[in-house]
Amino acid sequence: MASVKQFQVTFDCAEPERVARFWCEILGYVVPPPPDGFATWDEYERTLPPEEQGASFVCSDPTGVGPRLYFQRVPEGKVVKNRVHLCVRAGTGLVGDERLATLQAEAERLIALGAVRQRVMLADGVNESCIVMQDIEGNEFCLD
């Protein structure tokens, strides 16, 4: 049995390019080059039928280590809490006040991009502090 070496994370959303570019800013990801024969993604999009224009967008880790993120337009809005979420590892290796200060600084940067802070979960002797956030379409993620 073969093991999976790569995976893609797919987001359902209303505005794929807008959400993808938001996540590019959070993670330091990049938009891949347009398909061969096209100078820009806009040029490529204009070749698609109207109903497919803006229907999806992609971003990827420039180092090739992290998963590809795929954003697809869906007609329905987000209704309930995510069953799966991303944890953005902004405080790896840090503990106590240093960790919390680092997470809070990153939360402020993301809020300026349109994220929303939901709650701060303080260290409890078992788990270190983390901050629960929402992206620009309300998808939950954690800064940990």
Cβ-in-10-Å burial (0-12, 13-18, 19+) of 142 comes to middle
- Measured CA to CA, the distance from residue 32 to residue 38 in angstroms comes to 12
- Measured CA to CA, the distance from residue 10 to residue 53 in angstroms comes to 18
Per-residue confidence band for 115, with pLDDT thresholds at 50, 70 and 90: very high
Query: pTM to 2 decimals?
Result: 0.86
Positive or negative: CA dihedral 31, 53, 74, 133: positive
Indicate whether 1 pLDDT > 70. no
Per-residue model confidence (pLDDT) at position 60: 96
What does the pLDDT look like over 38-53, one tens digit per residue? 999 999 999 999 999 9
For residue 102, give both structure tokens. Answer: 């680092």
What does the pLDDT look like over 49-99, one tens digit per residue? 999 999 999 999 999 999 999 999 998 888 888 878 899 999 999 999 999
